[in-house]
Amino acid sequence: MLIEIPPDDREICPHQIALPTDDADNPYRLYILPLAYEKIGLLYAVLGLTACHIGIKKDDVYLRDTLAVEYQARAIRCLGETLQNGISGELEENERDGIFATIQILLLQDIFETGISTHGIHITGALSICNQLRLSDILTEGHERTVFFLGNLAWLDIIRSLADPQKLCFPPSLRETIAKLSDLKFEQVNGCPRELFLIIGTVMEHAKAHEAGHMDTLQYERFLNAARDELHAWRLSPGIYPSDHSRWPAVAEAFRHACILHTSRLLDVYQPAEATMIQISVTAILDAIAEIPPGCHLIELLVMPLFMAGTDALSSYARHYVLLRFDHIKARAGFGHPAPLSLLQSVWDARGSQIKDDNRNVPWMSFTRTESEHQHDYLII
């Protein structure tokens, strides 16, 4: 018999969306918790995440390693059954949204625990549900809850693909529909402005096509150069912010240069980190993040840009600053991000062990896979 753990919206919900206060309109409260009391698989996922979060925060081994894992296993079993039912028949709206929400919560628990996407395959399950129904039936005005869930999954899909473009699942048409119908909750949860979300999504789509041999190298390089020019020219439109907080432009700038940096790395993964174009983006990201004080709620959105800057940070003081800001995120969120820190240390150690005349870049992507026969785990930042 498992211990009863209430889905504690005071512990977790405030950290999943950038709101200046404990806002009653938090979509995790409005959308997920009511649905969790109707869909048992989602309730198990929420309880697992709650046990994991509180267990890490209070250093309670039983909550973190036993109860959280048991609830997670129950959620996965229920999810599998629901997905199978969806393949063989039609799903009503609450069942469909329950699937999307359960997948997102399972992925969040992965991030809380290790930062490794052990359940990333369920993103494919979410997409399979979308493919069974016409997009116009799923994503229309009035389906804010479904759009919210799919928007978060689409962003996690892009984050996962940074390590391996072949893992990208969501098609461009779905990302475009999501960006069109989403409201400012997308930025409040994910940090990245929707216009940049579309640009980097298209970049990863082309990277996937090139790796699969469906796009020749010359055409691919021309596209990446054009995308980088577009990112350099992009500016956040005045007045289009999730709130009136004066530091939102700094968040957008950090994500813009993170996208520029990754696009540059797709063009030449071994270009020395000392290259001017690389260091311009590293400096721009760190300068933008420096605009966000440690106690500001926006700092929790910046894990991805901070990690991207850290992979090409060269000086001791820049690396120290990256680690300091990760500490600020951990202090505010109540949990750390072990995989990004481990990855950064692996990259820095590998650079430190290079021979004197070898200044080729050490790609962080090469440290994201653990070989076990044909099994690979892919990082979610």
User: Which residues contact residue 278 at a Cβ distance below 8 angstroms, ignoring those fewer than 6 apart?
Assistant: 261, 264, 271, 272, 312
Judge whether 167 lies within some domain: no
User: Which residues contact residue 267 at a Cβ distance below 8 angstroms, ignoring those fewer than 6 apart?
Assistant: 221, 224, 225, 228
Mean pLDDT of 52-70: 86
DSSP 169-196: -S-HHHHHHHHHH--THHHHHH-S-HHH
Q: What percent of the chain has pLDDT over 90?
A: 47
For residue 24, the model assigns a pLDDT of 61
319-366 pLDDT, tens digit per residue, is: 999 999 999 998 887 777 678 898 999 999 999 999 988 889 999 998
Judge whether 85 lies within some domain: no
Residue 214 backbone zone (phi > 0: left; psi -120 to 50: alpha; other: beta): alpha
What whole-number distance in Å separates Cα of residue 348 and Cα of residue 251?
A: 25
Q: Which has the higher per-residue pLDDT, 81 or 9?
A: 81
Judge whether 106 lies within some domain: no
Q: Are 304 and 298 in contact (CB under 8 A)?
A: no
- Whole-structure pTM value: 0.90
Judge whether 281 lies within some domain: yes
Please give the single-letter amino acid code of residue 262: H
Structure tokens at 283: 């400096």
The total domain count for the chain is 1
For residue 184, the model assigns a pLDDT of 85
pLDDT at 39 over 90: yes
Query: Which of 3-17, 101-115, 268-282 comes out lowest in average pLDDT?
Result: 3-17
Boundaries of domain holding 337:
235-365
Judge whether 240 lies within some domain: yes
Burial 24-55 (b: 16+ CB within 10 A, else e): eebbbbbbbbebbeebebbbbbbbbbbbbbbb
Judge whether 290 lies within some domain: yes
For residue 80, the model assigns a pLDDT of 84
Judge whether 275 lies within some domain: yes
For residue 254, the model assigns a pLDDT of 97
Judge whether 354 lies within some domain: yes
